Structure 1
Amino acid sequence: MTTPNTFSASAGSLTQFDPQALPVSAAQAIVLEWVTPLAQSERVPLRDALARVLATDVISPIDVPAHDNSAMDGYAFDGAALARHAGTLTLTVAGKAFAGHPFMGTVPAGACVRIMTGAPMPAGCDTVVPQEGVAAQAADSSDGTATITFPADALAPGANRRRQGEDLARGGVALRAGRVLRASDIGLMASLGLVDVEVKRRLRVAYFSTGDELRSPGQPLDAGCIYDSNRYTLGAMLRRLDVEPIDLGRVRDDPEALAATLRQAAESADVVLTSGGVSVGEADFTRTQLQTLGDVAFWGLAMRPGRPLAFGRIWSGGRAGVGRAALLFGLPGNPVATMVSFYQIVRPALIAMSGATPQPVPLIPARCDAPIRKRAGRTEFQRGIAERDARGQWRVTPTGSQSSGALSTMSEANCFIVLAHEAADLDAGDTVDVMLFDGLV
C-alpha cells in the first residue's frame, strides 16, 4: 500500500515522503483497510452479553407474540357483529381473560369477554372495545348477567388486537450479526426464551506509556518529572469499548526496553497502543522500532492536536513477518492529543476489529460564539462547550487553552468543535460542526 507518507520496514528506510502530512480522512480509510475483524467467538449467558458484538444472526425460535392477544384492557368479541348493528351494540359478558389466565370457554353469539392487556384472544373473538369506549355497563336484574353497550361505529373489526407473530415470526431474523448488543437486545433475546448467545471474543488491546520523566500516581515527583495520565486515560477509554485491556505499564526511554515491550505486546494482543516517543526527538524511539519490527502505513497526520501519530503492524518475532502480528498505533505524548487521536483514528478501528460496523458520530451544526483561528490544510478538533439557546438552537464556545497538554480543558468541555481540513479562520457567529462527547467519550 502506498500512501503520501509511507515507510518500508523491510527496506529499513523511507521509500516515499511528502512534507504535507496525511489528511485525517485518508488516515481513517487506510486504518480500516488494514483491519481484519476477529474470527473467534464464544457463547456467553445473556446477563453477560451487554456491549458484546453479536457473532451470528439471532433466529427467533417462536412467534412473537405467541398468540393473538389484546392490545389494551377492554372487552373482546366477534367483530362481525359491528356490521349487523346500527347505532349501539349491546353484548353480554361471558367471562374474563387475564394475561396468563386465558378464557377457555366458548363465546356465544352476542356475547363478549372482559379482557386485560396481553391476554390471549378467546376463540371466535377478533376485536377489542377499550373499557373507556363502553358507554354503559349494567347487570341484568333477573340473573345478574353483565352487559355492555357501546357505539357500533366507534371501531372497526380487528381493532386493538395484536396478531400472533406480528412482531417476530418463527424462523425470522431477530438480530443481525455485527450488532453491539444493547439492553433492549438482551430483553428481546430473553423474550425469545434464549439463555445464551454467540458473541465475538473480546479484542485484546495492550497499551503502555513511554518516557523517563513519567511517574505513576502515588509516587513522589522527582525534578523534571510528571505523573503519567495517558495510561489511565487510555485504560478508561478502552473500558468504554468493552475490549480486554492489557496494561503494560511504563517503558523507559531505551530502545532495547521498548523493542522488548513491543514484542511482548504483539505476542499477547491484537492491537498495541503506545503514547509518547513518536516525535523526532533524540529520545523518541518508537519510530525506529516500528520500522525494525514491522510495516508502517503512515507517520504524521494533518491534524491538530495529534500530528505525530504512527500506524502500522508489528511482529513478535523481532522483524516483519516473523511471529504473531498486531496492529500498532503510536499516539502522541501530550494528553489531549492522545485522546483526540484515540477517538478519531483508533476507536473506529477497534470497533471494526471487534466485528462491529463503526457508526460515524453525528456532527451537529452550531453557532460559534467566539472567533477561532485556524490554518487551512489540517483538521482541527478544538474543545468546546455546547448548549441550546432559548430557541432550541445549538451554540458553542471554545474552552480556554487549546494546548494539547491542557487536559483540564478537556474535562471542562462537552464536545469537539470539528474544523474541516480546508477551513481557515472563523468569525464569531459562524456555523461550525460539533461532535458531542455524550456517547463518545
Structure 2
Amino acid sequence: MSDDRGVAHDTDTSALLSVEDYARHVSELLSPTPVRNLPLEDCLGLALAEPVTTGIPLPPFDNSAMDGYAVRAADLEGATGERPVTLPVTDDVPAGRVEVAELSPGTAQRIMTGAQLPPGADATVAVEHTDGGTERVAVRTTVSPGANVRRAGEDVSEGDTVLHRGDTLGAARLGMAAAVGRAELPVHRPVRVLVLSTGSELVEPGEPLERGQIHESNGTMLAAAVRQCGGETRLLRFVPDDTDAFHAALEPHLEWTDLILTSGGVSAGAYEVVKDALEHSEVRFHRVAIQPGMPQGAGHYTSGGHRIPVITLPGNPVSSIVSFEVFVRPALRQAGGHHRTHRPFRWARLTGRLRSSPGKRQYRRGTFDPASDSVTVPGGAGSHLLSGMAEADCLVELPEDSTEVAEGTTVRVWLLD
C-alpha cells in the first residue's frame, strides 16, 4: 500500500537482500575488459590501463611566457615611463626556432610566446611596457630575473608519472599525454552492453499510440546511461511478451555482448517475460531492500557456447534508472578499468520533511544547491513519475531505519551529471 505521499509500504522486509550484498553480487558478474592501444583521439572517456611516465621535462626548455623582448634584467635598472632604457634589438626569436643566438650584455632580442629564451637572457619584458621597436627598443619598466620565463621542468620533470592507471581520459589528460609525446595509450575497451526493452504495450517514440500502449522510454534512457559512463550499447526495442521472441532477439548479438541489460518483466505478476525466459538459466531473481527498484535479477545467460552476464531491472522508469545508478553503473565502471566507480556525493540539509518505508533504503529525486549545501525533493516518490527524475540533479539517500526525516536533517546526496 502507499501513503499520501506516494511512498509504497511492504511490511515483509525480512527476506529482502541488502543493497550492499546485491551490489557486490552484480559487481562480481563482470570481468575487466581487454586492454588495447588506441590513438589519443579515440581514447576520450576510456580508462587508462597503465601509468604514463614522461621521458622529457615540461617545458622541455626555458621559454618566454609572453610576446616581448628577451633581456638581462640588470640592463633595465632604473627604467621608468618617464626615463626609459633604450637597447639595440639584435635578433628576432619566433616560436619553434631551434638555433638561438646568445644575448650580449646591453642588448635585447624580440621574442614570441613559447620561443626559446636566448642564452644569456634571464627575463622577458612584455611588449606592452615598450615602444615595440624592431631595431632599437625603449623599455619603460624594470624586471626581476626570471620574469615572464617558463623554466624547463617547472611543470613536470623527466621520469614523473603524469597519468595513473584507472584515470578516466578527459580532454586535459589527453592533452598531457600528447604534451609528453604519446601518440597512443593503453586503455580498457568499453563494456559492450545489449539493452533490451520488453513489453507488447511498447511503441516506438514518434509513432501514434492506441489505447493501452505507451512509448518505449527505458531503452533510450538506459542506453544513454551506459554511454555516459563509458560503455558501448546496442538497443533492442519492442521485444514482445513472448519467451521465444526474447531468445531470438538476443541470439544475433551474443558474440559482441559483455552484458545483457533488460528492463521490465521481473515482477510477481503474469506475463513477466524476462523471468519466464530466464527461469531455467543461471539468473536469480531477488527482492532487494531498495525503493524504488525492489525486484531485481542477475546472473548469466547461456546459449550456443556463450555465457554472458545478465542484469534485469524493473520496468517502472524511475525504478529502472535508480537501479542502474546504484547497481549497474559502478559495475560497468569497474569492468571498464575506471578507479572512480561511484557517483560523487555530498552531505546536504533537507529543505522539507520526507517519509520513507522502514526496512528499505530509499532514493528520492532532488535538486542540490551548493551555495547553501541544501537539497530540495519536489513531487512524489512514485516510480512511474519520470518528470521529477528528468529535472533532478541528484539522488537523496534515506537509510533503511528511517520512517520520517525532518526538515533540516543532513542526508547523503549522490550528484548526477
* TM-score, normalised with respect to structure 2: 0.82
Residues in 2 aligned to 1:56 and 1:181: alpha-carbon distance in whole angstroms: 12
| 3-state SS in 2 of match to 1:224 | coil
The residue type equivalent to 1:69 in the other structure is N
- The question of whether the paired residues in 1 share the 8 Å contact of 2:35 and 2:186 is answered with no
| 3-state SS in 2 of match to 1:386 | strand
Q: CA deviation at 1:373?
A: 0.5
Q: CA deviation at 1:375?
A: 2.5
Q: CA deviation at 1:210?
A: 1.9
1:330-371 Cα deviation digits (max 9, x unpaired): 000101111111111111111121222234322233332221
The answer on 1:237 being equivalent to 2:225 is yes
Residues in 1 aligned to 2:289 and 2:88: alpha-carbon distance in whole angstroms: 76
1:379-401 Cα deviation digits (max 9, x unpaired): 2111123336xxx3133322223
Larger mean CA deviation between 424-433 and 86-95 belongs to: 86-95
Q: Indicate the residue corresponding to 2:163 in structure 1.
A: 175
Q: Indicate the residue corresponding to 2:70 in structure 1.
A: 76
The answer on 1:48 being equivalent to 2:42 is yes
The answer on 1:64 being equivalent to 2:64 is no
Q: Indicate the residue corresponding to 1:28 in structure 2.
A: 23
Q: CA deviation at 1:36?
A: 1.4
Q: Indicate the residue corresponding to 2:293 in structure 1.
A: 306
Q: Select which of 343, 354, 357 maps to 2:339.
A: 357
Q: Indicate the residue corresponding to 2:8 in structure 1.
A: none
Q: Indicate the residue corresponding to 1:7 in structure 2.
A: none
Residues in 1 aligned to 2:289 and 2:295: alpha-carbon distance in whole angstroms: 9
Q: Indicate the residue corresponding to 1:10 in structure 2.
A: none
CA separation of 1:146 and 1:286: change in aligned 2, threshold 3 A: closer
The residue type equivalent to 1:430 in the other structure is T
| 3-state SS in 1 of match to 2:176 | helix
Residues in 2 aligned to 1:264 and 1:22: alpha-carbon distance in whole angstroms: 34
Q: Indicate the residue corresponding to 1:431 in structure 2.
A: 410
| 3-state SS in 2 of match to 1:253 | coil
The answer on 1:315 being equivalent to 2:310 is no
Q: Indicate the residue corresponding to 1:378 in structure 2.
A: 360
Q: Indicate the residue corresponding to 1:189 in structure 2.
A: 177
The residue type equivalent to 1:119 in the other structure is A
Residues in 2 aligned to 1:93 and 1:312: alpha-carbon distance in whole angstroms: 79
CA separation of 1:117 and 1:217: change in aligned 2, threshold 3 A: closer
| 3-state SS in 1 of match to 2:301 | strand
| 3-state SS in 2 of match to 1:31 | helix
1:182-205 Cα deviation digits (max 9, x unpaired): 122333333345444443333211
* TM-score, normalised with respect to structure 1: 0.78
CA separation of 1:273 and 1:333: change in aligned 2, threshold 3 A: same
The residue type equivalent to 2:95 in the other structure is A
Q: CA deviation at 1:159?
A: 4.2
- The question of whether the paired residues in 1 share the 8 Å contact of 2:88 and 2:108 is answered with yes
The residue type equivalent to 1:331 in the other structure is L
Q: CA deviation at 1:408?
A: 1.9
- 1:77-116 → structure 2 map (5 Å cutoff): 77-78=71-72, 81=74, 92-95=87-90, 96-101=92-97, 104-116=100-112
- The question of whether the paired residues in 2 share the 8 Å contact of 1:402 and 1:409 is answered with no
- The question of whether the paired residues in 2 share the 8 Å contact of 1:266 and 1:314 is answered with no
1:4-39 Cα deviation digits (max 9, x unpaired): xxxxxxxxxxxxxx9332222332233333331112
- RMSD value, Cα: 3.3
- The question of whether the paired residues in 1 share the 8 Å contact of 2:79 and 2:139 is answered with no
Q: CA deviation at 1:407?
A: 1.3
CA separation of 1:252 and 1:114: change in aligned 2, threshold 3 A: same
Q: Indicate the residue corresponding to 2:238 in structure 1.
A: 250
Residues in 2 aligned to 1:61 and 1:106: alpha-carbon distance in whole angstroms: 27
CA separation of 1:211 and 1:114: change in aligned 2, threshold 3 A: same
The residue type equivalent to 1:209 in the other structure is S
> Percent of aligned pairs with the same residue?
36
CA separation of 1:430 and 1:56: change in aligned 2, threshold 3 A: closer
1:45-89 Cα deviation digits (max 9, x unpaired): 43333223334444445443231112234543456x59xx98779
| 3-state SS in 1 of match to 2:173 | helix
Q: Select which of 100, 114, 126 maps to 2:122.
A: 126
Q: Indicate the residue corresponding to 2:34 in structure 1.
A: 39
Larger mean CA deviation between 428-437 and 334-343 belongs to: 428-437
The answer on 1:402 being equivalent to 2:387 is no
| 3-state SS in 1 of match to 2:28 | helix
Number of residues of Structure 1 aligned to a counterpart in Structure 2: 400
Q: Indicate the residue corresponding to 1:286 in structure 2.
A: 274
| 3-state SS in 2 of match to 1:314 | strand
Residues in 1 aligned to 2:203 and 2:384: alpha-carbon distance in whole angstroms: 17
The residue type equivalent to 2:48 in the other structure is L
CA separation of 1:358 and 1:271: change in aligned 2, threshold 3 A: farther
